[in-house]
Chain A
């Protein structure tokens, strides 16, 4: 010991103590002003003051000798491309400063969202339908093109599709992770994990190396909503994580908007419920831009494919399709064309970018 430690070192150390959550750390700082002061207090005293539990106090005391190690880790972060952004820093997102349970420190790969530009969260079910995926991707792309920062959780399904849309437009997008910022979860999104920090940033409040624990995700959700001005729910079941995020967003005073779906669809039940409760309705990217009062020279409607370029039979087959996957037998039935011809036309439509196959022999319209 004896080395001079800065306040940042103490704060970083404080963030490494597993049982201490954002609210507890905030309470400690409120009581003792600086984290250095907190460091020098006995764990048992903190427990007596009912600031932390007995168990946490034990852990607190046990962590004290590790200050040198955590300080060294903090010093080594830039080499790993990670920054520790604390509430004391200029860079700390303004939007987060006002939410309940704001984290005192964020681990960031890349940047944090720009305070001066609008930001929107695109969230939804992990097992989203092709409709949800396509809408999320489209919204991500068009909002990004209009200069909106896209925030999401890099999860499978709708979340990932939102990021993907933004990345396709080379826009900036920010992912709030439920694991340490150095952990890629889910692993199938490795490509996104690599690209997001280049365009925008990966953000996490969990210490480096933390796994994606179940308990992390509700905490992460409050950051997603906290970092955004608008929360767009693309597809959500009843009692889903997306609805929890929407609720948190309302508590934080954010605007919640939902993409409507068919009333028969389980996956849209959550969205329809939100709309019934008064959430904004998203029928095109314009609805969101209107909220931000961003003027577009060209109205952003739901893009529609130009069917005029298609041959007659292609039109017939195309008109048999929908945004819900349809099996080829249904297409054959409705179009009245023989199976082989349908397969030929569908393949050509696919190559022309009009339809896609979510899985073999099922087809959906591409938007």
Chain B
């Protein structure tokens, strides 16, 4: 006899509907599974057979063939146990599989027949809905997560016996009989948005860094914080998601999907309503960052998508790991190619990095820091140039003084700052409508010419700074982009003097540390002299 039920696998972040077909025929007793299966799927045959036996189902000595179709898609994960069990039971006539034509089954089986939770339920249910299914049979632990998708009937299954019970009665009553567990999907749970555990209100002092964070969040500029240990770099960074614009429903769903696949959704409230903040350790490998494995799972960059990827101790990260950031920072996604296919993960994060100013961390306090200029240069030189090129704003963080910690006046709350950031994001949306970019930080040469025009006086002033400080052409563009964001925060249509000056202050690391002041002219003179003397 033949049966056919639906399961769902994962390909990257997307679900993939899989038909599980089973056939029972006379012949040498055996259990054969085909259809491009990963080891954990192949092992399902033993789990399923034993679980069914221990649930009271007597396996007749026949030949069982199970096929997972489409047969050319690589199938992995443990969620196929339940559909395989259902298909086998259907093929033996122990349940009416035709009642399941509108349903999708997901779940892992224990040897005693208990249905165990699996990872990635959210994208799976989303795919089931997209493919026109109406019912999902899920492990009880995953029910809350499944309910996030609106318009799906979610049925929790605790034991494979329940499934048999539901399906063996007269048509149309199966699901209802398990009425205790059946509830229609309510859509995403109503939770207050923007409810974070941290707030900028908690940070005393640090006016400059907070301002820099605000500018960075507003224009989606990547940010580099430089300061000694204990100055509050991490504290500032982990609060940046709180001032980014509130998540839209689509964004929350996207973020939640990634977390679902990685099994990181909190059980009691399986939906990400906050922007993520990810802070991988500096010993992280390339795989940990971009994601990987034979059946790729998302890495930190994808987990940070929609929020902030914080790289503390940037110079300590291994160079090849850091270089991997280059492409995602441009394209906002990661594409991994494997034999089994091409996987695309989102990587739409804002990069915040932190570094000590020197190996000991106390520069420029010369009473404590004995690092030579050369050591400092070498230390910061470990930061990859191409990454620095993608960081528009760089700011120092000074150690907090006792007076600041006591907190004379109350600091601004994240909500107030977020309001300004959202305003600027709105301005940017209107400005860049139809240009294929969303943020000031994404402007290229042509956009900069159009949107960052300076008036005569400012042009001259900037020229002077450019020459006096020996800025690079790249720094020139970065300063203009940041000045644009600062002007937007100010509600100004034209970049003014103060905006420009502030942006110059945030210019990137290279010009500041790489060249000690005063030496440039001497070198030029010396070389000229040498040339003159032959």
Q: Which of B357, B370, B395, B509 has the most CB of A within 10 A?
A: B370
- Chain A residue with Cβ nearest B468: A351
Q: Which of B365, B499, B501 has the most CB of A within 10 A?
A: B501
Q: How far is the CB of B314 from chain A (nearest CB, A)?
A: 15
Partner-binding segment picked from B39-47, B126-134, B204-212: B204-212
B373 near A188 with CB under 8 A, answer: yes
Is B355 among interface residues, defined by CB-CB distance under 8 A? no
A164: which of B464, B498, B522 is its contact (CB, 8 Å)? B522
Given A192-B522, A325-B364, A339-B208 contact (CB < 8 Å):
yes
B369 near A341 with CB under 8 A, answer: no
* A:346-367 near B, CB below 8 Å: 346-348, 351, 356-362
A130: which of B205, B364, B522 is its contact (CB, 8 Å)? B364
Question: For residue B206, which residues in chain A have a CB less than 8 angstroms away from its CB?
Answer: 329
A359 near B533 with CB under 8 A, answer: no
Alpha-carbon separation in the docked complex, A84 to B164 (Å):
102
Question: For residue B364, which residues in chain A have a CB less than 8 angstroms away from its CB?
Answer: 129-130, 325, 358-359, 362
Alpha-carbon separation in the docked complex, A204 to B277 (Å):
57
Question: For residue A327, which residues in chain B have a CB less than 8 angstroms away from its CB?
Answer: 208, 396, 398
Alpha-carbon separation in the docked complex, A195 to B531 (Å):
11
Alpha-carbon separation in the docked complex, A168 to B519 (Å):
10
B505 near A188 with CB under 8 A, answer: no
A126 near B208 with CB under 8 A, answer: no
Q: How far is the CB of B209 from chain A (nearest CB, A)?
A: 8
Is B200 among interface residues, defined by CB-CB distance under 8 A? no
Alpha-carbon separation in the docked complex, A348 to B464 (Å):
11
Question: For residue A328, which residues in chain B have a CB less than 8 angstroms away from its CB?
Answer: 208, 505
* A:211-260 near B, CB below 8 Å: none
B522 near A361 with CB under 8 A, answer: no
Is B195 among interface residues, defined by CB-CB distance under 8 A? no
Question: For residue B486, which residues in chain A have a CB less than 8 angstroms away from its CB?
Answer: 340
Question: For residue A344, which residues in chain B have a CB less than 8 angstroms away from its CB?
Answer: 497-498, 501-502
Alpha-carbon separation in the docked complex, A329 to B396 (Å):
10
A167 near B522 with CB under 8 A, answer: yes
A332 near B207 with CB under 8 A, answer: yes
Is A293 among interface residues, defined by CB-CB distance under 8 A? no
A156 near B207 with CB under 8 A, answer: no
Alpha-carbon separation in the docked complex, A340 to B490 (Å):
11
- Chain B residue with Cβ nearest A265: B367
Question: For residue B66, which residues in chain A have a CB less than 8 angstroms away from its CB?
Answer: none
* A:109-133 near B, CB below 8 Å: 126-130, 132
Question: For residue A137, which residues in chain B have a CB less than 8 angstroms away from its CB?
Answer: 518
Is A20 among interface residues, defined by CB-CB distance under 8 A? no
Q: Which of B205, B211, B367 has the most CB of A within 10 A?
A: B367
B464 near A168 with CB under 8 A, answer: no
- Chain B residue with Cβ nearest A195: B526
Alpha-carbon separation in the docked complex, A361 to B401 (Å):
16
- Chain A residue with Cβ nearest B512: A360
Alpha-carbon separation in the docked complex, A347 to B471 (Å):
14
Q: Which of B205, B465, B498 has the most CB of A within 10 A?
A: B498
Is B374 among interface residues, defined by CB-CB distance under 8 A? yes
Given A130-B364, A168-B522, A198-B398 contact (CB < 8 Å):
no
Is B387 among interface residues, defined by CB-CB distance under 8 A? no
Is B525 among interface residues, defined by CB-CB distance under 8 A? yes
B208 near A329 with CB under 8 A, answer: yes
A361 near B395 with CB under 8 A, answer: yes
Alpha-carbon separation in the docked complex, A8 to B491 (Å):
79
B207 near A343 with CB under 8 A, answer: no
Question: For residue A130, which residues in chain B have a CB less than 8 angstroms away from its CB?
Answer: 364, 366
Alpha-carbon separation in the docked complex, A357 to B509 (Å):
13
Q: Is the interface of B mostly helix, strand, loop or mixed?
A: helix
Chain B: interface residue total (CB-CB under 8 A): 50
Alpha-carbon separation in the docked complex, A266 to B369 (Å):
10
Q: Which of A329, A346, A359 has the most CB of B within 10 A?
A: A329
Is B442 among interface residues, defined by CB-CB distance under 8 A? no
Interface range for A: 35 or more
- Chain A residue with Cβ nearest B530: A194
Question: For residue A132, which residues in chain B have a CB less than 8 angstroms away from its CB?
Answer: 366
Q: How far is the CB of B525 from chain A (nearest CB, A)?
A: 7
Alpha-carbon separation in the docked complex, A361 to B530 (Å):
36
Q: Which of B206, B366, B371 has the most CB of A within 10 A?
A: B366
Given A188-B373, A343-B501, A351-B464, A195-B522 contact (CB < 8 Å):
yes
Given A164-B519, A188-B373, A195-B526, A362-B366 contact (CB < 8 Å):
no
Is A186 among interface residues, defined by CB-CB distance under 8 A? yes
Is A191 among interface residues, defined by CB-CB distance under 8 A? yes
B207: which of A128, A191, A329, A351 is its contact (CB, 8 Å)? A329
A361: which of B205, B208, B365, B527 is its contact (CB, 8 Å)? B208
B497 near A266 with CB under 8 A, answer: no
B366 near A188 with CB under 8 A, answer: no
Contact with B along A306-348 (1 / 0, CB 8 A): 0000000000000000000101111010000001110110111
Q: Which of A188, A351, A361 has the most CB of B within 10 A?
A: A361
Is A15 among interface residues, defined by CB-CB distance under 8 A? no
A127: which of B369, B523, B526, B533 is its contact (CB, 8 Å)? B369
Is B72 among interface residues, defined by CB-CB distance under 8 A? no
Question: For residue A176, which residues in chain B have a CB less than 8 angstroms away from its CB?
Answer: none
Question: For residue A359, which residues in chain B have a CB less than 8 angstroms away from its CB?
Answer: 357, 363-364, 396, 512-513
Q: Which of B371, B372, B377 has the most CB of A within 10 A?
A: B372
Is B517 among interface residues, defined by CB-CB distance under 8 A? yes
Enumerate chain A interface residues (CB-CB to B < 8 A): 126-130, 132, 137, 156-157, 164, 167-168, 186-188, 190-192, 194-195, 198, 264-267, 325, 327-330, 332, 339-341, 343-344, 346-348, 351, 356-362
Enumerate chain B interface residues (CB-CB to A < 8 A): 205-208, 211, 226, 357, 363-374, 377, 394-396, 398, 401, 464-465, 468, 486, 497-499, 501-502, 504-505, 509, 512-513, 517-519, 522-523, 525-527, 529-530, 533
18 contacts between A and B (CB under 8 A): A129-B367, A137-B518, A156-B373, A164-B522, A186-B372, A191-B522, A192-B522, A194-B529, A198-B533, A265-B367, A325-B365, A329-B206, A344-B501, A351-B464, A351-B465, A359-B512, A360-B226, A361-B208
